[in-house]
Amino acid sequence: MTVCLRMLSGMGMTKQDNLFSDPKDSVADFSFDAMVADVFPDMLRRSIPGYENIISMLGVLARGYAKNNTCVYDLGCSLGAATLSVHRHTRDLSLQHICVDNSAAMIQRCQSKLKRHMPASSVELICDDIQNIQIKNASVVLLNFTLQFLPPKTRLSLLETIYQGLEEGGVLILSEKLIFSDQGVNQQFIDWHHEFKRANGYSDLEISQKRMAIENVMIPDTLATHKQRLAEAGFSQTQQWFQAFNFSSLVALK
Ligand code: GEK
């Protein structure tokens, strides 16, 4: 396995993701372990169309809703990229950042990164399932590509908890991979996404082994399902502000 270091904007040195480059006899379910955490910035940048764009716009969007002396939750924070983006745009406010992830490998790396990049901020890091977290006094909640990893039956309940914990005028920003109800359309989007990954240097073997690893772990919904679920949870208004191939982001207002 070759190790390659790359410089990513604002992220420092990061290892190249080649976790699925060697043929495997059987592909285990994907987990957010130390090996994944070590290559994570490269993995997301080359796998999620528009990832860097979404990250930088999260800060721009959050700026409009973050209120002094409230909490900003980053649920499924991984290495804290979304929290850092919000921080860049809200330095003048007094905010309590609460970053949650159930991967110890992610939380450890997130902690040292946030200490380095936002040392003067109030940040609480929690290694736990986001379903166990009490949300309170929140002006901004980020679910950036995390809801899709929860069992579908539990998703509404999490959104209800978030809605209850948001202050009036607060916002949930929800980014997700999408599926499409028309099979032909769905396949078209999958093909475009795979072409995007090929263009970013992933081989067909890497693409198919990663797909096998993730298919039982990450279960995407349609845009209509998301909108309906958000409405059911109480959100009065939902806007889709971003889509690149089958990856999208929504703003839901309380
Ligand atoms: C980013 N938001 O860079 N409880 C807590 N954490 C969870 C759970 C759960 N039930 N399920 C998954 N995770 C980040 C990217 S990655 C998206 C988010 C991706 C965590 C998991 O450990 C991982 O760190 C994160 O959610 C999903 O803006 O890998 O496609």
What is residue 29's predicted lDDT score, i.e. its pLDDT? 84
How are beta strands 138-144 and 122-127 bridged, if at all?
A: unpaired
Best of 78, 108, 175 for a ligand 1 pocket test (most atoms within 8 Å of beta carbon) = 78
The alpha carbon of 47 and the centre of ligand 1 are apart by a number of angstroms equal to 14
Which is higher by pLDDT, 9 or 232? 232
For 59-115, the DSSP string reads HHHHHTT--TTEEEEEET-TTSHHHHHHHHHHTTS-EEEEEEES-HHHHHHHHHHHH
What is residue 209's predicted lDDT score, i.e. its pLDDT? 86
The alpha carbon of 130 and the centre of ligand 1 are apart by a number of angstroms equal to 9
* Cβ–ligand 1 contact at 78 (below 6 Å): yes
Q: Tokens 């948001």 identify what position?
A: 166
Ligand 1 atom nearest the C-alpha of 37 is 24
- Would you call 9 exposed, middle or buried from its count of C-beta atoms within 10 A (0-12, 13-18, 19+)? exposed
Which is higher by pLDDT, 140 or 7? 140
Q: Is the pTM of this model over 0.85?
A: yes
How far apart (Å, rounded) are the C-alpha atoms in residues 143 and 151?
15
Ligand 1 atom nearest the C-alpha of 48 is 30
How far apart (Å, rounded) are the C-alpha atoms in residues 41 and 61?
22
How far apart (Å, rounded) are the C-alpha atoms in residues 80 and 103?
13
What is residue 160's predicted lDDT score, i.e. its pLDDT? 98
How are beta strands 247-253 and 237-244 bridged, if at all?
A: antiparallel
| pLDDT tens readout for residues 38-64 | 999 999 999 999 999 999 999 999 999
Q: Under a CB-based contact definition with an 8 Å cutoff, are residues 104 and 37 in contact?
A: no
Above 80 in pLDDT, residue 4?
A: no
Q: Specify the CATH number for 1-219+236-254; select among 2.40.40.20, 3.40.50.2300, 3.40.190.10, 3.40.50.150.
A: 3.40.50.150
Average pLDDT over residues 204-208: 87
The alpha carbon of 254 and the centre of ligand 1 are apart by a number of angstroms equal to 24
* Cβ–ligand 1 contact at 99 (below 6 Å): no
Percent of the chain with pLDDT over 90: 83
How far apart (Å, rounded) are the C-alpha atoms in residues 230 and 98?
22
What is residue 11's predicted lDDT score, i.e. its pLDDT? 44
Contacts 24+ apart (CB under 8 A), 20-26: 20/205, 20/206, 20/209, 20/210, 20/213, 21/203, 21/205, 21/206, 23/205, 23/209, 24/209
Q: Whose CA is nearest to atom 6 of ligand 1?
A: 101
What is residue 137's predicted lDDT score, i.e. its pLDDT? 98
Region of poorest pLDDT, from 15-29, 111-125, 157-171 = 15-29
What's the mean per-residue pLDDT of the chain? 93
* Cβ–ligand 1 contact at 144 (below 6 Å): yes
The alpha carbon of 145 and the centre of ligand 1 are apart by a number of angstroms equal to 7
How far apart (Å, rounded) are the C-alpha atoms in residues 7 and 97?
26
Q: Under a CB-based contact definition with an 8 Å cutoff, are residues 71 and 133 in contact?
A: no
Which is higher by pLDDT, 12 or 98? 98
Above 70 in pLDDT, residue 7?
A: no
Above 90 in pLDDT, residue 28?
A: no
| pLDDT tens readout for residues 190-205 | 999 999 999 999 999 8
* Cβ–ligand 1 contact at 130 (below 6 Å): yes
The alpha carbon of 150 and the centre of ligand 1 are apart by a number of angstroms equal to 10
Backbone angles phi, psi at 231, to 5 degrees: -65, -40
Nearest C-alpha neighbor of 189 from the set 243, 150, 249: 243
* Cβ–ligand 1 contact at 145 (below 6 Å): yes
Above 50 in pLDDT, residue 111?
A: yes
How far apart (Å, rounded) are the C-alpha atoms in residues 140 and 49?
24
CA angle at residue 196 from 192 to 197, to 5 degrees? 120
Q: Whose CA is nearest to atom 3 of ligand 1?
A: 81
Average pLDDT over residues 211-226: 94
How far apart (Å, rounded) are the C-alpha atoms in residues 16 and 39?
6
Above 90 in pLDDT, residue 93?
A: yes
* Cβ–ligand 1 contact at 33 (below 6 Å): no
Q: Whose CA is nearest to atom 17 of ligand 1?
A: 145
For 201-240, the DSSP string reads T--HHHHHHHHHHHTTT---B-HHHHHHHHHHHT-SEEEE
What is residue 13's predicted lDDT score, i.e. its pLDDT? 61
What is residue 8's predicted lDDT score, i.e. its pLDDT? 42
Region of poorest pLDDT, from 14-18, 102-106, 229-233, 246-250 = 14-18
What is residue 115's predicted lDDT score, i.e. its pLDDT? 96
Distance set, CA 239 to CA 23, 180, 204, 234, 246 (Å) = 42, 18, 35, 14, 16
The alpha carbon of 101 and the centre of ligand 1 are apart by a number of angstroms equal to 6
